[in-house]
Every structure is written in C-alpha cells, then in structure tokens.
C-alpha cells in the first residue's frame, strides 16, 4: 500500500536520507527504529508531506505522492500523529477530535459515527470528553492525538515516537490501540526509539542508521538480532 524506493531527502544543503526503501502493506504494523537523528522523523515527513523528496519514489495506494500537494495527504487516506501531539489545549477533547474530521465535513451522521468509534477505542477520551485537552495526562493526550488522526478515516497512520515521555502502563495502552487499529485494517507506520516495545507490537521493522536502512525483517527476528539487542535493547 505504501512504498518508498531509494528516497533521498534533506533540509537545505544537507541530505539526511540517502536512499531509503521501505514498504507497508494493508493493515500491517511496521516500525522504524533508530537512534536520535537517524532520520525517522524525516522519513515520516516524506510520506506525510512536510519534507520534499529530492530523488526516488513514494507511492501510496497506487498514487505517486511526489505529484500530490502535502495538504492533500489526509484526503488520500494518510493520518498523522506528530511528535509532540500538537493538540489544542484550550479546547475540549471532543472538539479536538472533531477538528480531525475533514474541515469540509460538517457534523454529519458519518462524523458522529466516527466519533463514537474513536470513543469506543479510547474509553478514557469518553470519560474526559468535555475536559480541555490541556488537562490530560501525557498518555491520555497521546490517545487523543491518535483519536484525532483517526477522525479522517485513514488507511495508513503515521506515528512519531508515541511512547515519548509516557509511563510504561500508558505506553502499553498506546501500543494496544495500534494493534486494535491494525485489526480494523488500518496500516500503521510507527517511528520509535523504544525499540523493545515497538518490535513487540509490530509485524516488521526497519532499522535506520544515519539516513540508511541497515536491516529489515520480521519484528520477531529483529528482536533476537544480537546487534539490535546490543544497540537498541539495552544489551539485555
Ligand atoms: P529524533 O528521534 O531525534 O527525532 P530522528 O531519527 O527522527 O531523530 P530526524 O529528526 O529525521 O531524526 O533528523 C535527522 C537529521 O536531520 C538530524 O541530523 C537533524 O539534525 C536533521 N534535521 C531534522 N530536521 C531538520 C530541519 N528542520 N532542518 C535542518 N535539519 C534537520
């Protein structure tokens, strides 16, 4: 469904991605692991539209994304949960969710049904529906950010470091939600420094080092790979 082929991208004079290739199939959870500055966020940016591709191909559902404007990615079925979540803290949870629905879609039946689905997936958001987003805990806010992305009914959702700053219990909850999404047929591409958690949830993984994919395999294979264990899993 999503395919990157030999993608080069960067900022100003600096090239950050030096030929990245990866693939995400329908309903699959794929993780991008790598240390700080490896190029994970840049890779997501290439797909989400924030970073321009200098060379190579990015295709989504048969569409060449290089030919589509960044603001049209949501319409194509790509949902994004950026690092730092970017919620509206002074608006209630419910309004944050509704803002995730397409701007042109009014409060239609479909939006209400979608909202109901999201509240079902994240019961804590139902409990806090009327509370301002700024009053949520880190884990709750992360669930809200994912819920908001779901309001555009994406076929693929991109997440950047969803576990950042969360307590272990909340990290688990967020990753459980990703599994639930994939069970509903939504493909998930998640960039994570928390490689252990990401590789426990994902089906496949790509290891990114200094802008290049150095390894890719089934997540259970990567979890056993000595080099990965030593570098990313704390040498257990
Ligand atoms: P992190 O986990 O720290 O976000 P990452 O793997 O996501 O790391 P990127 O954010 O993609 O890595 O960064 C890759 C490289 O690109 C880094 O060297 C970074 O300094 C550089 N970079 C990222 N964003 C910009 C930008 N807006 N302008 C210039 N350089 C940037």
Least Cα distance to 80 among 191, 207, 193 occurs for 191
Q: What is the whole-number distance in angstroms between the Cα of residue 212 and the centre of ligand 1? A: 13
Is the pLDDT assigned to residue 218 strictly greater than 80?
yes
**Residue 93: both structure tokens together:** 């949870």
Q: What is the whole-number distance in angstroms between the Cα of residue 39 and the centre of ligand 1? A: 6
pLDDT band at 154 (very low <50, low <70, confident <90, very high): very high
Atom of ligand 1 nearest to the CA of 193: 2
* Predicted complex ipTM: 0.93
36-58 tens-digit pLDDT: 899 999 999 999 998 999 999 99
pLDDT at 236: 43
Taking the C-alpha atoms of residue 60 and residue 149, their distance in angstroms, rounded to an integer, is 17
**Residue 106: both structure tokens together:** 């009014």
204-216 tens-digit pLDDT: 999 999 999 999 9
Least Cα distance to 80 among 178, 27, 185, 150 occurs for 150
pTM: 0.92
Is the pLDDT assigned to residue 199 strictly greater than 90?
yes
Is the pLDDT assigned to residue 102 strictly greater than 80?
no
66-86 tens-digit pLDDT: 888 877 888 899 999 977 778
Q: With a 6 A CB cut-off, is 197 part of the ligand 1 pocket?
A: no
Q: What is the whole-number distance in angstroms between the Cα of residue 128 and the centre of ligand 1? A: 34
Q: What is the mean pLDDT of residues 148-169?
A: 91
pLDDT at 103: 55
Atom of ligand 1 nearest to the CA of 208: 6
Contact 17, 7 (CB under 8 A): yes
Q: By alpha-carbon position, which residue is closest to atom 29 of ligand 1?
A: 11
Q: What is the mean pLDDT of residues 6-32?
A: 96
Instruction: Using most ligand atoms within 8 A of CB, pick from 8, 12, 16 the residue to mutate for ligand 1.
Output: 16
Q: What is the mean pLDDT of residues 152-156?
A: 91
Q: With a 6 A CB cut-off, is 40 part of the ligand 1 pocket?
A: yes
Is the pLDDT assigned to residue 104 strictly greater than 70?
no
Is the pLDDT assigned to residue 7 strictly greater than 50?
yes
pLDDT at 228: 86
The contacts of residue 208 (CB under 8 Å, 6+ apart) are: 20, 32, 33, 34, 38, 39, 40, 43, 214
Scan for tokens 């994240």, then name that residue. 122
User: What do you get for the CA distance between the two ends of the chain, in Å?
Assistant: 35
Taking the C-alpha atoms of residue 53 and residue 11, their distance in angstroms, rounded to an integer, is 10
Contact 17, 46 (CB under 8 A): yes
CA distances from 21 to 8, 58, 80, 111, 211 (A): 10, 9, 20, 35, 11
Q: What is the mean pLDDT of residues 136-156?
A: 91
| Higher-pLDDT residue of 139, 19 | 19
pLDDT at 235: 46
Q: What is the whole-number distance in angstroms between the Cα of residue 37 and the centre of ligand 1? A: 5
Contact 219, 204 (CB under 8 A): yes
**How high does pLDDT run on average in the chain?**
90
The contacts of residue 215 (CB under 8 Å, 6+ apart) are: 206, 207, 222, 225, 227, 228
Is the pLDDT assigned to residue 233 strictly greater than 90?
no
């Amino acid at each position: 469904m999503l395919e990157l082929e030999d993608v080069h991208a960067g900022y100003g004079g600096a090239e950050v991605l030096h030929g990245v290739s990866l693939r995400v199939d329908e309903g699959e959870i794929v993780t991008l692991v790598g240390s700080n500055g490896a190029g994970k966020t840049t890779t997501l940016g290439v797909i989400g539209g924030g970073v321009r591709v200098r060379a190579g191909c990015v295709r989504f559902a048969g569409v060449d994304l290089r030919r589509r404007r960044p603001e049209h990615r949501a319409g194509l079925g790509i949902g994004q949960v950026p690092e730092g979540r970017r919620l509206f803290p002074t608006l209630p949870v419910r309004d944050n969710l509704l803002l995730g629905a397409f701007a042109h879609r009014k409060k239609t039946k479909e939006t209400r049904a979608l909202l109901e689905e999201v509240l079902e997936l994240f019961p804590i958001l139902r409990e806090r529906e009327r509370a301002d987003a700024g009053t949520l805990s880190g884990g709750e806010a992360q669930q809200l950010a994912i819920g908001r992305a779901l309001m555009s009914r994406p076929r693929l959702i991109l997440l950047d470091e969803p576990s950042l700053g969360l307590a272990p219990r909340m990290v688990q909850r967020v990753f459980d939600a990703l599994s639930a999404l994939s069970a509903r047929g939504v493909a998930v591409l998640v960039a994570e420094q928390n490689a252990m958690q990401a590789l426990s949830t994902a089906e496949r993984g790509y290891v990114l080092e200094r802008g290049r994919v150095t390894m890719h395999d089934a997540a259970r294979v990567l979890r056993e790979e000595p080099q990965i264990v030593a570098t990313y899993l704390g040498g257990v």
